[in-house]
Homo-oligomer: A and B are copies of this chain.
Amino acid sequence: MNDTAFPRSSARTLADDGDRLHFCSTCAFSQACLDEGMDKAALMDLHVLVEHVGPLRAGEHVFREGDPFEAIAAVRAGTVKTYVIDRDGREHVLGFHLPGEVIGLNAIDGESYPCNAVALDTVMLCRFSFPKIAVLATRVPGLQRQLFRLLSRDIGRAALLAGDWAADQRLAAFLLGLSRRLAARGFSPNRFALTMARTDVANYLRLAPETVSRVLKRFQTEGWLRVDRRELELLDRDAIEALAAPVLRG
């Protein structure tokens, strides 16, 4: 069995929504391409390349490790978790991908995806055949530049949390990073819901779930935030920023 939505995208692809000239405004590609000064014709070329995938429900996979690599995708709605399972059965979370962010970039070097990607809630995607978008990038320098930047950014992002930081520093950096990325997409920066389980956060920050619980509790008793189940409110941003500063290279 292979219950991934991606390789069989045609079965899951939605019909075009009819608004051919209105690109998803938060998309990592069109947004930045407009900034780059891409003309309308180039944007149109990009648009005809898109396949809208979804909605995927929580727990459904976008792709799995070993699936043949054919496409990258921008998250349009929801949260995607990328992860691997090591031979001891432990899960390592590589990242959480919010609307506007791109998944699959680490698969370009190779024949198949090196990790799994799963929807944490209801997810909508814009799928781009990589061979096709690469060809388009040779004709549209702004698109090529944008792809280079996205790839380069992911290198830095992967290196960020690789350092050896204390548990509270890592959690503070995680929460602050989430807040900033949500804010950049127009969501509230101080009040948001965690779409992932404590275990996911722990496997991302290489902590035990118990440690995540304890640190969150400590933050709450310090008055820095309020957390109820997966609802979260940042009360003292400065305190959290002070903790996270060395991690985020602030």
Contacts and interface: CB of A to CB of B under 8 A. Distances in A.
B206 A163 contact: yes
Interface residues of A, number: 42
Contacts of A84: 249
Nearest to A207: B164
Interface of A: 84, 86-88, 92, 94, 105-110, 114, 134-135, 137-139, 141, 144-145, 147-156, 158-159, 161-164, 206, 245-246, 249-250
B138 A106 contact: no
Q: How many copies does the complex hold?
A: 2
A interface: dominant SS? helix
* Residue among A135, A150, A155 with max Cβ neighbours from chain B (10 Å): A155
A158 to B, nearest CB: 4
Contact of A108 (B92, B134, B149, B162): B149
B105 A155 contact: yes
B148 A138 contact: no
